[in-house]
């Protein structure tokens, strides 16, 4: 019985263990740092056999402004934008980052949030509502850029928990 309990408790944490955070370079270029504690297939596949790597953000042409996608996103996160129950597999996560697509990284307290102010608890809670289960903290939304360097959509969110991170698909009420 005890072994069954341990198995049931461990199953949700059997995913690949990795972490991510948004960093700004000395030249103020945004990038996503991905790191693993051990030789996870996810990191070694994505980071060319290394335990960490940096994924540069794309250059965005419509990121700032009252009518931009990002201002709409910050106003509607948690209401019109929500996560689904679909978690990307390790293989799908590697494909997402290595597909050649460019992203900008949106955080509740990130540099693109000029709409609700730094330290806004409500915005923080709305971002956290994008995460599911034990993956509840430090959400990073991946806003995909199109060929013209304009935000096409916010399709995924990285959510962190005590045992690593997961990537959830996002939905929009208008989809």
Kindly state whether residue 81 falls inside one of the protein's structural domains. yes
For residue 66, what pLDDT is reported?
63
Kindly state whether residue 167 falls inside one of the protein's structural domains. yes
Give the whole-angstrom CA distance, residue 61 versus residue 57: 12
Q: Report pLDDT digits (tens) over 22-32.
A: 888 887 788 99
Residues 6+ apart with CB under 8 A from 141: 73, 77, 105, 106, 107, 127, 130, 154, 156, 157, 158, 170
Query: Mean pLDDT lowest for which of 3-12, 25-34, 116-125, 142-151?
Result: 3-12
For residue 4, what pLDDT is reported?
33
Give the whole-angstrom CA distance, residue 166 versus residue 139: 10
Kindly state whether residue 20 falls inside one of the protein's structural domains. no
Range(s) of the domain holding residue 140: 60-172
Kindly state whether residue 55 falls inside one of the protein's structural domains. no
For residue 141, what pLDDT is reported?
93
pLDDT over 90 percentage in the chain: 16
Residues 6+ apart with CB under 8 A from 165: 18, 19, 20, 135, 158, 159
Kindly state whether residue 137 falls inside one of the protein's structural domains. yes
For residue 92, what pLDDT is reported?
93
**pTM of the shown model:** 0.83
List residues bridging with 56 in a β-sheet.
31
Kindly state whether residue 6 falls inside one of the protein's structural domains. no
Kindly state whether residue 79 falls inside one of the protein's structural domains. yes
Helix (H, G, I), strand (E, B) or coil at 32: strand
Kindly state whether residue 27 falls inside one of the protein's structural domains. no
Q: Report pLDDT digits (tens) over 77-132.
A: 877 888 888 999 989 999 998 888 889 999 988 888 877 766 778 888 888 888 87
Q: Under the phi-then-psi rule, with left for phi > 0, alpha for psi from -120 to 50, and beta for the rest, what region is 57?
A: beta
* pLDDT surpasses 90 at 156: yes
The total number of structural domains in the chain stands at 1
Give the whole-angstrom CA distance, residue 20 versus residue 42: 12
């Amino acid at each position: 019985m005890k072994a069954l309990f341990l198995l049931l408790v461990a199953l949700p944490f059997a995913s690949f263990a990795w972490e991510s955070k948004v960093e700004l370079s000395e030249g103020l270029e945004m990038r996503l740092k991905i790191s693993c504690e051990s030789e996870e297939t996810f990191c070694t596949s994505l980071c060319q056999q290394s335990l960490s790597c940096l994924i540069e953000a794309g250059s965005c042409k419509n990121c700032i402004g009252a009518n931009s996608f990002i201002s709409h996103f910050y106003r509607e996160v948690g209401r019109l934008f929500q996560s689904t129950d679909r978690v990307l597999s390790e293989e799908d996560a590697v494909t997402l980052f290595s597909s050649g697509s460019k992203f900008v990284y949106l955080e509740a307290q990130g540099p693109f949030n000029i709409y609700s102010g730094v330290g806004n608890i409500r915005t923080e809670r709305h971002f956290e509502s994008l995460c599911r289960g034990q993956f509840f903290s430090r959400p990073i939304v991946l806003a995909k850029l199109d060929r013209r360097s304009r935000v096409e959509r916010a399709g995924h969110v990285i959510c962190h928990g005590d045992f690593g991170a997961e990537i959830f698909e996002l939905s929009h009420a208008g989809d």
